[in-house]
Amino acid sequence: MDLTGKKVSVIGAGKSGMAAAELLCRKGAKVLVSEFGQIGAVDRLRLEDMPLSFEQEGHSARVYDADFCVLSPGIPPHAEVVTTMQAKGIPLYSEIEIASWFCKARIVGITGTDGKTTTSTLVHRICEEDGLRHGYRAFSVGNIGVPFSSMVLDMKIGDIAVVELSSYQLERSPTFRPDVAVITNITPDHLDRYGGDMNRYAAAKFRIYANQRAVDTLVYNEDDPLLREHFIDGTGRLPFRIMPFGMELVVGAKSASCIVFLEGDALCVRTVDGDDRVIETSEFLKNSFRGRHNISNVLAAVAVARALGIDNDVVRRVLREFRGVEHRQEYVMTINGADWVNDSKATNINAMRQALEALPDTAVLIAGGRDKGNDYASITGLARKKISLIIAIGESREKITAAFQGVVPVESVASLNDAVLFAHHAVRPGQTVLFSPGCASFDMFNNFEDRGMQFKQCVHQLSPW
């Protein structure tokens, strides 16, 4: 892809926008970075060191003088700058799409509503371990926090790029093609962006395999009802290999030559040559990495490893050492006989459900934030069994209070610190204080990482009584 002299507008000066701008400059494009808000001092200095133009506090008419535009994923599709670009016929791409044009490495693309970060982390570590043996490097990029564009020019033929992908990133990636595509699950999330239409949300996720070819592989979760229904009749007509995985023997995808499933306590791979027992769940499920949903994440990682030709002994070694991912059901500490768990990454109801199901006993639940159209009624039955008290915070605290009134006791508080203090006095020995918001973080925090770090800081300041 020769971009020499091409005029490109980068809309948004966040992590992905800055990385895309730098990549485009290195490839000879004439770049304008346009930020609707203010650009921080550090980022301004960085932009001043690049051969480009930039503007802030609004988008000028200059953004439309472009051969194409790179759109940051957080910008909604109904934003004026987006609709005007579309009306003018200016192509809109994601940062992921731009980076993929220059990627020499094999790509493992991972998407899904839940589990994609844990699965991506597992796959990356497996590839890292295998790379030490076979002389290639593995990169972890994308929605996991490191922009693809910032690393792509360091990647060489034979390397592996593990790319975590949100639906937002896939929306504007018309030619993106992973060697191995993974869909962990699809449950309601971000429906505010998709007009409440679950089909539109799923269609964005399905873009991950839109360009795959005969040499490529699609790994998908057949336990997920939406995915099972989507693929059960059509897999034989897909122009690439499929590798379904599931908690039980997968029967729907009859055209698959390889399936990954759970048999008793063993993760198994079935091929035309028979069954291969990879590892027992008891070897990797630990205090900070537990729950049925994490078995599903491991099944997905085992499937990817098989698709890449990575030996079982490498997979076993990584899984035995894995301790989970920060902010995802992360054990923080035990105070007065009660465990404190940070699940700040739980930004939807399904993730909250998974955390509650993984609990060994009942919990005091701290939840709330910016609501994304959550249906709290879907977990009231589970709440009766697992929750002794809900402490609601953030913009959604009134909605949460109303939803669980008469189901479990609910207290509404003004801040996260207040919630931690209230939980400290309410929790009983043997219980868990679970911070699983079920909502977006942007009402009170910069992101879910900031939210999780502040929760842990509040917990560490507590004194036993």
Fold observed for domain 99-321: UDP-N-acetylmuramoyl-L-alanine:D-glutamate ligase (3.40.1190)
Q: Between the ranges 166-170, 191-195, 455-459, where is the mean pLDDT highest?
A: 455-459
Which part of the chain has CATH 3.40.50.720? 7-93
Mean pLDDT of all residues in 337-365: 91
Give me the chain's average pLDDT, please: 92
**pLDDT tens readout for residues 23-49:** 999 999 999 999 999 999 999 999 999
Give the integer Cα–Cα distance in Å for 241 and 260.
Answer: 14
Supply the pLDDT for residue 372: 83
Give the integer Cα–Cα distance in Å for 227 and 209.
Answer: 13
Supply the pLDDT for residue 189: 65
Supply the pLDDT for residue 239: 87
Give the integer Cα–Cα distance in Å for 453 and 457.
Answer: 6
Given a contact cutoff of 8 angstroms between Cβ atoms, the answer to whether 105 and 156 are in contact is yes
Mean pLDDT of all residues in 363-381: 92
Which part of the chain has CATH 3.90.190.20? 330-460
Of the candidate ranges 38-52, 172-186, 246-260, 293-307, the one whose mean pLDDT is the lowest? 246-260
Supply the pLDDT for residue 176: 98
DSSP 10-47: EE--SHHHHHHHHHHHHTT-EEEEE-SSPPPHHHHHHH
**pLDDT tens readout for residues 248-262:** 766 655 668 899 999
Local confidence band at 84 (pLDDT 50, 70, 90 cut-offs): very high
CATH superfamily to which 330-460 belongs: Mur ligase, C-terminal domain (3.90.190.20)
Mean pLDDT of all residues in 343-368: 91
Which part of the chain has CATH 3.40.1190.10? 99-321
Supply the pLDDT for residue 198: 84
Of the candidate ranges 247-251, 284-288, 327-331, 459-463, the one whose mean pLDDT is the lowest? 247-251
**pLDDT tens readout for residues 105-115:** 999 999 998 88
Supply the pLDDT for residue 338: 93
Mean pLDDT of all residues in 130-156: 95
Fold observed for domain 7-93: Rossmann fold (3.40.50)
**pLDDT tens readout for residues 231-280:** 875 555 788 999 999 987 666 556 688 999 999 999 999 998 889 999 99
Give the integer Cα–Cα distance in Å for 275 and 442.
Answer: 47
What Cα–Cα distance (Å) separates residue 305 from each residue in 124, 126, 267, 278, 309?
Answer: 10, 7, 13, 11, 6
**pLDDT tens readout for residues 411-449:** 999 999 999 999 999 999 999 999 999 999 988 999 999
pLDDT at 287 over 70: no
Supply the pLDDT for residue 190: 63
Going by their DSSP bridges, the two strands 338-342 and 330-335 should be labelled as antiparallel
pTM given for the model: 0.81
What percentage of the chain has pLDDT greater than the value 90? 77
Length of the chain: 465
Local confidence band at 356 (pLDDT 50, 70, 90 cut-offs): very high
Give the integer Cα–Cα distance in Å for 90 and 45.
Answer: 29
Give the integer Cα–Cα distance in Å for 140 and 116.
Answer: 12
Mean pLDDT of all residues in 141-166: 95
Supply the pLDDT for residue 233: 59
Supply the pLDDT for residue 234: 55
Sheet strands (E) in 247-304: 259-263, 266-271, 274-280
Mean pLDDT of all residues in 69-76: 91
